[in-house]
Amino acid sequence: MSLGKVYLLGAGPGAADLITVRGARILGQADVVLYDALVTEEMLALCPQAEKISVGKRSGQRSTAQTLINRQLVECAQKYKLVVRLKGGDPMLFGRADEELRALETAGIEVEIIPGITAALAAAASSHQPLTRRGIARSVAFFTSSTAPGQPEQTTLPDCDTLVQYMGGKEAIATARKLLDQGRSPDLPVVVVENCSRENERIMRLRLCELEQGLAHCQGPILVMIGEALAARK
């Protein structure tokens, strides 16, 4: 049986014109595209010729099981020449690429990975807040509180100058309390970016003590950036 090739392709943070040139070219050649819930219609317009399969995964919502996605990828590679697994952000950061790579490699299917702009970098750009700052912040940690089924909840947070929490909306209160318990200042600057890079993007500037009140008013994908480097420039 002749097997197709699978591309794990990063769609970037949301805006269709933030996909890489290579990513857009491969999308335009794809026979089938399996895409995440955060991929926009504008992004899918870049591959009008392809069959499109939604395998949406949203935190806290019903979504396609990862094992089923793995099986779909293998089956598509057995049927199509060029398969794209289109993921929000970058496939290699909180994108469950490891599970999909294992399934495809086990089946002997060729895989290529095309990186995308991850949300943290896009959010820093949108807010005009560098994540590093000379003399103030020289280390950055990306983290998420989401865990695999059966895994213990994260009890400590990274010890870095700047912290960036992916999918941080529902975890905002717990994150703030953990940092306060670790001795972080209640006045520590926080920048929250909702719907990063999209038309309905919203940027909120808070302090750590305000983050402790939660982000229940936010509806879209949330990225939370915390640290002295996030202080607004005077």
Catalytic residues: 36, 57
At residue 87, the 3 state secondary structure works out as strand
Which pair of tokens denotes residue 179? Answer: 């940092």
Burial of 210 (0-12, 13-18, 19+ CB in 10 A): middle
Edge-to-edge strand list for the sheet holding 222-226? 140-144, 162-166, 222-226, 189-194, 202-207
> What residues have CB less than 8 Å from 187, skipping those under 6 apart?
207, 208, 209
Whether residue 181 contacts residue 228, with contact meaning beta carbons closer than 8 Å, is answered with no
Spatial neighbors of 72 by CB under 8 A, at least 6 apart, are 34, 53, 55
End-to-end CA distance of the chain: 64
